[in-house]
A and B are shown apart, each in its own frame.
Chain A
Amino acid sequence: MYTKLLKHECKANLRYLIPLYIILFFTTITVIGLSYITFITDKLPFITNLFFFGYILSLILLSAFTIVLVIYRFYKNFMTGEGYLMFTLPASTHALILSKLTTAMLSIIVTFFLVFASIFLVGNTVSRSVHLDIPMQSFSLSNYVDHLGIGNIFYLIILVILAIALQTLFYYLCISIGQMITQNKLIGSLIAYIALSTILQVVALIAIVPIGILVKDPNNILSYIHILLPIMILGSIFITVIFYLGIHYILKKKLNLE
């Protein structure tokens, strides 16, 4: 069931994402092309500014839209009329939630990967062609790897993936709580969002305290990174599991389809 749901959800997401990825491809190519023209002719056509602006805009819109899509799919597919179909399928609640979560994470990771790849490509081209004083190192991956160490990079990647899962489940939980507490699901979700954000901020503040006590040399915080990262990972896993269990409980026992 999980794989079937996953397949269906990916198809539904791609319907929206593929056109946007294509647009990103074209805006990237355009900007790179214009940079080469500048490089060759040593003149900066005025129109480049517009296209550059459009390019940056497309990056921002694509990123924001992916997040909005993730939230929208959960809401539309589970909380509206489609919920009658989804929750009467012979699939466990776990399969339903996990298929959404997996697709959401894949969508976000692919989008951000494409966005970063685009930025690297454009950055490399532009800095070469426009003789800007941006250090080449900023766009070189190997630079980061040497600076931080492979182990920490590994932790960072895990933390980023966890952060994506956590953020996605956070939105799912807000929507789940929202549909449970009020008839107007959007307002309920907003209320849940405000409430949960506040709670999380308080928890984060409390969690920082022991870290603040333990760190003896605040000026050189990077030296503690090999302890900090695992702690953050464990904390994130803990909160992720709590969010997931909350969503599971609400969808199984407190579903409110009207």
Chain B
Amino acid sequence: MSFELNSEKPVYLQIMEQIERDILSGKYKPGDKFPSVRELAAHAMVNPNTMQKALAELERNGLVYSQRTSGRFITDNKELLETMKREIAKKEVQDFITHMKTLGFTDQEIQRFVAAETAQSSDHIAKL
């Protein structure tokens, strides 16, 4: 993992978002056990307290829960995962549309772009 150190966002939030993406994309399976804070911190090459804060944030929004003696686990609440995934997708799309609009495209043009690009990529996958 690499982090932008001079951005407005503190490092722990960046870590939190990275882990969030990994969970939602399925890289970590629901119910999986997390390695210890130290192992995670060592892997990411960040301060353990920073990693701790990131995990605390993840616990706060329900993606991760901890059991006193056994450690931290990814939630197996599939509904929550789906909801979060949809929220992030929605935000991505909104950002995209806003950006496209600043370039001067209309709603229909945007839709056509999206259709063309997604068709292309599914063609590409079909050829493989």
Q: Do chains A and B touch in the complex (CB under 8 A)?
A: no
Name B residues whose Cβ lies closer than 8 Å to a Cβ of A: none
